[in-house]
Structure 1
Amino acid sequence: MCLACDTKLSAESLDEFGGRYLDILNHGALAVMISIGYRTGLFAAMRKAGPATSHELAETAGLHERYVREWLGAMTCGGIATCDETSSVFSLLPAASASLTGSDGAENLAYLAQYVAMMGSVEDKIIDCFHRGGGIPYSDFPRFHEVMAQDSAQTVVGALFEHILPLVPGLALSLHNGIDVLDIGCGRGKALLAMAKQFPNSRFTGWDLSAEATRDAANEAHALGLTNVRFEVRDLSDFDKTAPSADFNLITAFDAIHDQARPDHVLAGIRRALRPDGVFLMQDIGASSNVAENRDHLIGTLLYSLSCTHCMTVSLSQGGLGVGAMWGEQMTREFLTNAGFSSVARHTLPHDIQNYYYLVKP
C-alpha cells in the first residue's frame, strides 16, 4: 500500500507547501541576480555611491541603465535593497552591504551565488546524463576555476596562516626552514602562491588536470617573482602507480579529492609520495555519508546539488567512481584507511561552515 497516496492532504498543508515553493522560486531567481550583481560590480557601485538612482549606479559601474533598473527591482523585492516611495533612489540594506561587499569587516559572500548560475548553465547536459549516464567534463565549466579561486581566497588563503597551517604542530617552523610541499588539485594555485611567498626556503609543487588553471598559476608566480613554486598539468587517475616515492614532507588537497576520477588511486599515491614523517592535510566537504544524517545540514541542499551538477559528473565523465561532494566522513575515512594511512584526525574551523580538515599521517 502507498501510504502517501492513502493520506488525504489538508488544505493547510498544501497552502504551506505552496508558500514555501514560491519562496524557493523567488530565492532561486534572487541567487542568479546576486551573481550578476557581483560579476558586474553593481554591489561595489552601490556601496560606493550610497543612495543613488539607477542612472547614477549605471554610470558608476559603467553599465547600461535599463538593465541596472530591472536588476534593482529584483534586489528590492528580494529584500537586498530598499527604494524611496517614487522608486527613484535605491540603497543596499546595511547587513546586505556588509555581506555582499565585504564592508564593515565582514566577508564578501556574493561570489557564492555564482555556483547557482553555474548549475543552471549545464542543466540540459545534466538531464542528458540522467538518461544516458556518463558525465560532463571540466571543459564544459569554463568559469569553474575562476569561481573556485574566489572561494579559495576566502576559505583557504584568508585563513591559511592563522588557522589552517597551525593545525599541524611545528609546521610553520618546518616551512620556514625549508621542506618539499605538493598541492593536489591546485587550481589557480592561490594557496601555494601564498605559501611560496611566505616561506621562500621551502619548495612547492602544484598539480591539476586543468591546463588553463595551471597556466594562470604559473603566470602569477612569474609576475610575483617566485622561483620556489612550479605548476604542472597532471592526470592523477593512476597516481597509485605513478606517484614518486617519499618525495614530499607535506601534501595538501583543498576541496579537491572528491572531484577526482579515482580518489582511491589518488590517496594511495599520496601515501606513497609522503615521507615517513610527512603529513597529508586535506580540506573536504563536512558531511555524513548517510543522507538521513545530513537533513539538518546548513547547506546540504546546495552541496548535493553542486555535486550532481559538477563534482560527481566531472568524475563520471572520466570513467571515475563519482563519489560526489557529499561522500561524507565515513567514506572518507574508509578510503584513507584503504590507502594505507594509519592516523586520521578530523578538525573543524570556525571560519568555514562547509568543510572538515583532516590531518592524515602514514
Structure 2
Amino acid sequence: MAIDEQRLNAFLGKAVGDLGASVSATLMLIGDELGFYKALAAERLTPAELAARTGTFERYVREWLGNQAAGGYVDYDKASGTYGLNEEQALCLADPSGPVDLPGAYGIVEAMFHAKERTLEHFRNGQGMEWGEHHPCLFRGTERFFRAGYNANLIGAWLPALDGVVDKLRNGGRAADVGCGHGASTILMAQSFPQSEFLGYDYHAPSIDVARDRARAAGVKNAHFEVADATGYQGKDFDLIAFFDCLHDMGDPVGAARHARQALKQDGNCMIVEPFAGDSVQDNLNPVGRVYFGASAQICVPVSLARHGPALGAQAGEARLREVVVEGGGFKQFRRATETPFNLVLEARP
C-alpha cells in the first residue's frame, strides 16, 4: 500500500500536538493548585523566583515552565530568563471570574480518568453511571468551567435575549434553576436581581449542600436550594425556569420539560442553555464538537442511561431539543434566543 507522506506527516504533527496537550493536563491542574499561574500573572519570574514565591522545589518548577512555554501557555523571555503570562493567558488561566476558566475545565478531564475503568465497561455492557458516582473533582471542575461562562454572558446577554424576563426579575419575579449543581448560576442571578426569589433544584444532595454554603458565603438571602429532581420539585408559578447545560443529561428530559411547563406562569419563560451543536454529525466535526463528544461519551450519556433515559448527549442539537420541549413537553413557542461558540441559548414559552 502506498503511503502519502505529506498526509502522514500532517496527521502525525496533529497527533503529537494532541499528545503534548494530554501529557500537560495534570501539569495544568498542578500549576493551578500550586498558584503558579496567579504568580506569573502578577510578574515575570525566573524558575527560582517562582519556586520561592510558591514554596515549591525549583527543579520541578523548571520542567513545568518548559512544558508550559512550549505549549504556548506561558511566555518566555530569553534575555532575562524569565517567564510570565500575557494578558490573554492570564484571563483564561489565572482569573476565576474571567470569561474562560481553563484549569476548571481540566478538573472535568481529571474526572474522566478517574472513571476510565467504568467507562470501559459502559462500552461493553451499555450501562450508565450516576452523576453522584463520579469523583468530586467533576463537581468542582464543572462549577468553575461553567461559572466563567455565566459570569461573561448570563446577566449581560442571555437573560436580555429572552422576551421580557429582565423586567420581570427587576420588579420582583420568581425563578427556578433546575439542575443547579453548586448554585453558581442561581447565586449570580440572585445577586443581580435582589428583588426576585430564586430556587435552585438538584437531585445530587452533596451539590445542594455546597450551593447553600456558597449562598451563605456570598451573603445572598434571595436564593434557596432544595434536593429535588427535574420532574419532582414542588415550586410553582415561576416567571422563569432555567436549565443550564443539564437537560441533555437527564433520564427523563421530556418529563422535565413537561414539569417545567406546568410550573411556569402562563406568561412565563423557560431558558434552556445547552452545548453548542448542529443537527447533523458533520456540523459538529470541529474542535468544540470534539470536546463535547468526548465529555458526552464519558459523562453525559452514562448519566442518562443510568436512569434508563434517551441519552440525548451533549451534541443533541436544536432540532432534537425542539422535539423534547415542544412535542414532548407541551410548549407552544420555541426559538434560539442567542448563542456563543460554546452554547445554544433556547427560549420556550407556554
The equivalent of 2:127 in structure 1 is 134
Amino acid across the alignment from 2:313? G
Residue 57 (structure 1) shift: 0.9
- Equivalent residues of 1:345, 1:359 under 8 A apart: yes
Residue 205 (structure 1) shift: 0.9
Q: How many residues align?
A: 347
Amino acid across the alignment from 2:141? V
Amino acid across the alignment from 1:140? H
Residue 267 (structure 1) shift: 1.0
1:321 paired to 2:314: no
TM-score (normalizing by structure 1):
0.87
**Counterpart among 221, 225, 230 of residue 215 in structure 2:** 221
Correspondence 1:1-362 to 2 at 5 A:
8-50=2-44, 52-83=45-76, 89-92=82-85, 95-102=88-95, 107-138=100-131, 139-236=133-230, 239=231, 242=232, 244=234, 246-295=236-285, 297-337=286-326, 338-349=328-339, 352-362=340-350
The equivalent of 1:4 in structure 2 is none
Rate the CA distance shift 1:45–1:166 in 2: closer, same or farther, 3 A: same
Structure 1: distance between partners of 2:120 and 2:196: 46
Structure 2: distance between partners of 1:48 and 1:97: 9
- Equivalent residues of 1:157, 1:190 under 8 A apart: no
- Equivalent residues of 2:107, 2:142 under 8 A apart: no
Structure 1: distance between partners of 2:100 and 2:311: 32
Larger Rg: 1
Rate the CA distance shift 1:162–1:91 in 2: closer, same or farther, 3 A: closer
- Equivalent residues of 2:174, 2:237 under 8 A apart: yes
Q: Which moved more, 1:18-27 or 1:94-103?
A: 94-103
Partner secondary structure for residue 57 of structure 1 = helix
Residue 304 (structure 1) shift: 0.2
Q: Which moved more, 1:270-279 or 1:169-178?
A: 169-178
Rate the CA distance shift 1:317–1:40 in 2: closer, same or farther, 3 A: farther
Residue 246 (structure 1) shift: 4.8
What's the C-alpha RMSD, in Å, of the aligned pairs? 2.6
Structure 2: distance between partners of 1:248 and 1:110: 35
Residue 266 (structure 1) shift: 0.9
Residue 208 (structure 1) shift: 0.6
Q: Which runs of 4+ in 1 moved over 4 A?
A: 82-88, 105-108, 242-246
Q: What percentage of aligned pairs have identical amino acids? A: 30
Superimposed CA distance per residue, residues 241-270 of structure 1 (whole angstroms, 9 cap, x where no aligned partner): x46585312101111111112111111111
Partner secondary structure for residue 342 of structure 2 = strand
Residue 10 (structure 1) shift: 2.3
Rate the CA distance shift 1:75–1:262 in 2: closer, same or farther, 3 A: same
Residue 167 (structure 1) shift: 1.3
- Equivalent residues of 2:245, 2:273 under 8 A apart: yes
Structure 2: distance between partners of 1:316 and 1:304: 16
Rate the CA distance shift 1:30–1:223 in 2: closer, same or farther, 3 A: closer
Partner secondary structure for residue 135 of structure 1 = coil
- Equivalent residues of 1:32, 1:114 under 8 A apart: no
Structure 1: distance between partners of 2:325 and 2:257: 7
- Unaligned ranges ≥5, structure 2: none
TM-score (normalizing by structure 2):
0.89
Rate the CA distance shift 1:98–1:361 in 2: closer, same or farther, 3 A: closer
